[in-house]
Amino acid sequence: MIELKDVTHAYGDRPVLRGISLRLEERRIGLIGANGSGKSTLARLLNGLIVPDSGQVLVDDLDTRKQARAVRRKVGFVFSNADSQIIMPTVAEDVAIGLRDRGLPKEEAATLVAEILARYGLGDHHDHQAHLLSGGQKQMLALAAVLVTQPEILVCDEPTTLLDRRNVRIVVDTLRSLPQQVILLTHQLETLADFDRVLVVSEGRVAFDGPPAEAVDRYIELIDSEVVPAR
Ligand SMILES: Nc1ncnc2c1ncn2[C@@H]1O[C@H](COP(=O)(O)OP(=O)(O)OP(=O)(O)O)[C@@H](O)[C@H]1O
Ligand SMILES: [Mg+2]
């Protein structure tokens, strides 16, 4: 279970998260909010990619500030920009690197990699250059490379933004069927319809916390109430 205790974060002198306290226990949690509202910053706090300026983030009682390595093993993170997640030259190597600490026999690791690539529609790209995949294929690769490590919790920052309809369905169905806890950031609000809980982030605070339909209504209200600056 992830717990945030009065967390604040600023970039330089710009406050981005302002006193957030949460217990994230539900299996499917969505995070929505305007561009720049602080969602990605909040997501990055959950696996210790960012540590809070004040307050604490605990993952099963591990403090992200002190036990970042252990936290990262539990919490997998899928970035919205898949390019920043690709670290190896070929598709298969990029997935295999996540298994390197497992001490699996080579053949077993290779079988796991081939299986997961096939499941995510990348079977034909096994030995291709990862950076030459299409944008959507890179997002599928990023997801496969994280899932192969079997994290207990998965944080996904807009994993479907670049995907075509078919791949959106594959990713969303995958996230639904995973036994792990999933925390999903998205602007595709319909994706969250059957989630257990949705948080609406606004100007670095949680403006709403509850069922998806109400969260979406609240989000739309918030956006529509803003005065759009005249050109
Ligand atoms: N590394 C950084 N350095 C400085 N400012 C940053 C950095 N990352 C984010 N910010 C700022 O923090 C604020 C929140 O950014 P964040 O990426 O958390 O928003 P977001 O809700 O994920 O937005 P989006 O929907 O566009 O992804 C923005 O004003 C952004 O400019
Ligand atoms: Mg973001």
End-to-end C-alpha distance for the chain, whole angstroms: 46
Q: Could you identify the residue written with the tokens 């406050």? A: 15
Q: Please write the tens of the pLDDT for every residue from 7-40.
A: 999 999 999 999 999 999 999 999 999 999 999 9
Q: What is the rounded CA–CA span in Å between residue 86 and residue 213?
A: 35
CA of 32 to the centre of ligand 2 (A): 10
Q: Are strands 14-24 and 153-157 parallel, antiparallel or unpaired?
A: unpaired
Q: What is the rounded CA–CA span in Å between residue 46 and residue 51?
A: 9
Length of the chain in terms of residues written: 231
Pocket of ligand 1, beta carbon within 6 A: 11, 16, 33, 35-41
Q: What is the rounded CA–CA span in Å between residue 125 and residue 222?
A: 43
Instruction: Give the helix/strand (H/E) hosting 170.
Output: helix 165-177
Q: What is the rounded CA–CA span in Å between residue 163 and residue 171?
A: 9
Tell me the CA distances in angstroms from 39 to 29, 94, 99, 201, one per residue in order.
13, 27, 29, 7
Q: What is the DSSP string of 83-128?
A: GGT--SSBHHHHHHGGGGGGT--HHHHHHHHHHHHHHTT-GGGTTS
Instruction: Specify the residue with its C-alpha closest to ligand 1, atom 9.
Output: 41
For 2-225, which CATH class? alpha beta
What is the identity of the amino acid at 172? Answer: V
Taking a C-beta distance cutoff of 8 angstroms, is the pair 229, 199 a contact? no
Best residue among 37, 84, 201, 223 to mutate for probing ligand 1's pocket (most ligand atoms within 8 Å of CB) is 37
CA of 203 to the centre of ligand 1 (A): 11
CA of 63 to the centre of ligand 1 (A): 23
Tell me the CA distances in angstroms from 100 to 33, 61, 91, 109, 187, one per residue in order.
37, 26, 15, 9, 34
pLDDT confidence band for 193 (50 / 70 / 90): very high
Q: Please write the tens of the pLDDT for every residue from 131-170.
A: 999 888 998 999 999 999 999 999 999 998 888 888 888 8
3-state secondary structure (DSSP) of residue 184: strand
Best residue among 7, 8, 9, 11 to mutate for probing ligand 1's pocket (most ligand atoms within 8 Å of CB) is 11
Instruction: Specify the residue with its C-alpha closest to ligand 1, atom 17.
Output: 40
Instruction: Specify the residue with its C-alpha closest to ligand 1, atom 29.
Output: 36
Q: Please write the tens of the pLDDT for every residue from 75-121.
A: 999 988 888 889 999 999 999 998 887 788 889 999 999 999 999 99
pLDDT at 28: 97
Give the residue extent of every domain in the chain: 2-225
- Ligand closest to Cα of 37 equals 1
Q: What is the CA radius of gyration of the chain?
A: 18
Atom of ligand 1 nearest to the CA of 204: 14
Name the residue among 171, 91, 77, 80 with its Cα closest to residue 131. Answer: 91
CA of 39 to the centre of ligand 1 (A): 8
